[in-house]
Structure 1
């Protein structure tokens, strides 16, 4: 029998969540489970939630499992960190996790039908009031064809 996972009990969490546009957690389920990342993605109102990709839900679940100072290693699509569509994610992250490293995963690492460009991200859980060194990953990236420099 598997024991339930208890929040804030782990020093390391490593995960490779499934991801894709069709793999989403419903807003109602995120609200019931208290996933703040689905509320942050809504970008309006404290009780507004949105359907959200499962990879981002995994990110919050990993954060919940970590002790202060613990680290998460997670495979996620590059889009979450370099697309303006996910600009809200930087705000959600800077209150919870500090980026410690990012490793490029070659496209050939996964099945040929998996066309999402991914990276392996390493984050450290930070405490409230700690100001991490934040780099805005959305400030332009060579593969973002829609990028327009903020003026």
Structure 2
């Protein structure tokens, strides 16, 4: 399962996996409680593979940030909670991505990244981060 199939939907907690696409949107399944819902094309949907984090020099794809967290945590859940305070979240994120842009990456963004990582870890979807490297490197060779 690649991050192309994992979504964040504005106003809904957690992450969702695309089950099938419809003419007017998609049927998605929550990674939290496995409930299925239909979302319309008008919904504010973000595909995880298209999200990037601002650094002082460039935008780093979310996949790379999640991989850094996975390496830091040896594939386990994060050592902090997404509910921790702003300073704890920022200190943790600074360890993961030392040059992130503190002016454009808010504590609420860090909270989401931590929460998303833990959801992906809990649902055994972190392997998608490594699988995409194989696909991306084979694309570059052609």
TM-score (ref. length: structure 1): 0.24
Higher percent of residues as strand: 1
TM-score (ref. length: structure 2): 0.25
Higher percent of residues as helix: 2
